[in-house]
Chain A
Amino acid sequence: MNKKLILKMVIFLIIGGIVGAGLTLGLEAGKEIINNQILPTLADYLMTYSFYITIAVTLALFIPTVINFTKGKKLLSKAEGLEDEALDTLEKEAQKYSNKAMAYNNILLVLNFMMYGMSFDVDAPYFLAKTVLFMIIAIGCSTTEILAVKLMQKYDNRLKGDPTSLKFQKDFLESCDEAEKLKIYESGFKSFQFVKNAALVMVILSILLKITGFIGTFPVFIVSLFLFIIIASYNYYAIKADQ
């Protein structure tokens, strides 16, 4: 290893140490206010209004999902008989709408789980209504995703796989051509790198929060386990691919 690289690593470690210490001291200083005022107020607010917040979030995300999905579908219905150049433009535009629709849909699905999980309390007001709403949103998001896949398959009948089946990912990937597979692998690798770094940041953050006494050992264990699963699964598939 050359000296420059070692120096760079030492500098990064020192900067990391300073940032970590600063954050710890900051959290320690604000611990009283955060623990006694901010967190209880937020928790109360969430428990009281989570039903209405979920409805608002659903409307804010599901409407754009439907609008973008419909726009994409309408565009694809105009594809028949178009010249290659015009098709390129139309398909790119339709893809853009479809990507947007799926992004809104997935964000809604995640937020739905978050809201329900964070405000879960059998004795809280509207618990039954919240549970029904949670199920409706989860089913709605899954159905939208299935519809999007079926639309794609209707447009391009090369693409196989039943979106309701557990084998869908495998069947779908196998039906993709070489250029499509390359795109999937590229985005998969980029996504892996991003999630790995994000998980590492979460582990560091959880350790800082544990040091300052905001959280216990379990959250540190959970995020560390998450990081371990990400790295271990990548290594497992890398070894498998080499065999």
Chain B
Amino acid sequence: MPLTNTLKVQRAKLGINQGELGQLTGVSRQTISSIERGEYNPSITLVLKLAKIFNTTVEEMFEYEEDKINE
């Protein structure tokens, strides 16, 4: 998957577990786990919801791997 994320870090900062984040975003704990492991690329709606919860930007949370190669 070319998409990496800092979701686990953001979640730790907020002090919530995957189940609680799942409840806040309306998805299952397993889906949060899959996103963190890079196995599932979330929709824009879910990404924006996550950004709102963590009070951060999408770019802070997700990075497209190709961006790293170009740097």
Contacts and interface: CB of A to CB of B under 8 A. Distances in A.
Interface of A: 83-84, 87-88, 91, 156, 158, 177-180, 182
A7 to B, nearest CB: 38
B29 A178 contact: no
Given A177-B26, A178-B46, A179-B40, A84 B17 contact: yes
Contact of B33 (A84, A158, A182): A84
Interface string B22-63: 000011111101110000101100100000000000000000
B28 A156 contact: yes
Contacts of A178: 27, 31, 42-43, 46
Contacts of B34: 179
Given A178-B43, A179-B40, A87 B31 contact: no
B38 to A, nearest CB: 13
Contacts, number: 35
B27 A84 contact: no
B18 interface: yes
Nearest to B11: A84
Given A84-B33, A88-B33, A179 B18 contact: no
A221 to B, nearest CB: 44
A182 B17 CA distance: 24
B14 to A, nearest CB: 14
Interface of B: 17-19, 26-31, 33-35, 40, 42-43, 46
A156 B31 CA distance: 13
A158 B33 CA distance: 17
Most A Cβ at <10 Å: residue of B18, B28, B40, B46: B28
B18 A84 contact: yes
Nearest to B8: A84
A179 B29 contact: no
A84 B16 CA distance: 11
Contacts of A158: 26, 28
A134 to B, nearest CB: 38
A75 to B, nearest CB: 15
A220 to B, nearest CB: 45
A180 B28 contact: yes
B30 A91 contact: yes
Q: Closest 6 CB pairs between A and B?
A: A177-B27, A179-B31, A84-B18, A179-B40, A177-B31, A178-B43
Nearest to B35: A179
Contacts of A156: 28
A88 B19 CA distance: 11
A84 B33 CA distance: 8
Nearest to A85: B33
A243 to B, nearest CB: 22
Contacts of B28: 156, 158, 177, 179-180
Contacts of B18: 84, 87
B69 to A, nearest CB: 27
B17 to A, nearest CB: 6
